[in-house]
Amino acid sequence: MQGHSHGHHGHRHASHHHVFAWAMWINLAYSGIEAGFGLATNSLALISDALHNLGDAVGLALAWGAAWMASQAPTERHTFGWRRATQLSPLFNAVLLVGFSGALLWEAIGRFQNPPQVPGALVMAVAGLGIAVNLGTAALFLRGQKTDLNKRGAYLHLLADAAVSLAAVIAGLGIWWRQWYWLDPLTALLVALVIGIGSWHLLKASFMQAMDAVPEGLEKGEVEAFLQARPGVVAVHHVHIWSLGAEEIALTAHIVRDTVDGHDGFIDATNQALQERFGINHATLQIELGESCHHDHHDHAPHH
């Protein structure tokens, strides 16, 4: 006998994918403005930051596309739908962040030899606008970034943008006030290190999700112990836990019970308890009878 359940709140991200579109267009518009000022004043700092923001707009476009794909209904061919897109998008986003931090680090080291004489006041003004733009768009993702890696990727990316803009403001102030042109490569160097360290966790988390690892914050042993303690349960085996997509956690398990009574009620109550205690909202339980069962010891993860 099998039972399965999945909560509807796991689909909420489908109705909120428009925030990625807003964030993308805002960043795209700001990138154009910043690039225009950079070209007009021959400011490499502004041009570089504009290219960075353009890369962010591309990352947001990936997240937007992933959120839209995840909202599509399952088909005969793709029975889980396209929810996995919300795991692949932050993986690509994290790769972009790590790649950007490396490129920025390389550029910053090169600039120490011959720092460009950028107009400090203009750098401060345009970068200050960048702080407002990036923090404002990051706020769009604040609520959902703790449970949705797709949103977390966008959120961290935008915070990184704000850090870059803040560093540019500080550099611009030093250049304008003291003609300390070496501040430009120094702040870029520090920002590259901060972004690289911060994006590493996202890269690891998104890669682990893509490889069907147990979601962060869950321990397989605790879930097994919980199932083992349910009424009438003799043994639990073949337990698999993985993320289907944003805010959706799946579980499959074989449960051996010593009674044939009340299976339907047992399954319903267990599924509800799994969702309330662990956030597992797509559980499939297979009930087996008897005080012992004979099965192979090679677990096979479900195909999806």
Domain extent listing, the chain:
8-210, 220-289
Over residues 68-97, the pLDDT tens digits come to 777 788 888 887 778 777 777 778 878 887
pLDDT of 294: 44
Given pLDDT bands bounded at 50, 70 and 90, which one contains residue 33?
A: very high
Q: How is residue 213 annotated by DSSP?
A: P
Average pLDDT taken over every residue of the chain = 80
> Does the structure show a pLDDT above 90 at 276?
yes
Over residues 244-275, the pLDDT tens digits come to 766 789 999 999 998 877 888 899 999 999 99
The fold of 220-289 is: Alpha-Beta Plaits (3.30.70)
Q: Which residues pair with 255 in a beta bridge?
A: 236, 287
To the nearest 5 percent, what fractions of the chain are helix, strand and coil? 60, 10, 25
pLDDT of 12: 43
CA-based radius of gyration for the chain: 25
The first and second tokens of residue 75, run together, are 């088909």
Report pTM: 0.62
CATH entry, 8-210, from 1.20.1510.10, 3.90.320.10, 3.40.50.300, 3.20.20.70: 1.20.1510.10
Over residues 42-70, the pLDDT tens digits come to 676 677 777 777 777 877 777 777 777 77
SS3 176: helix
Maximum Cα interatomic distance, the chain, rounded to a whole number of Å: 82
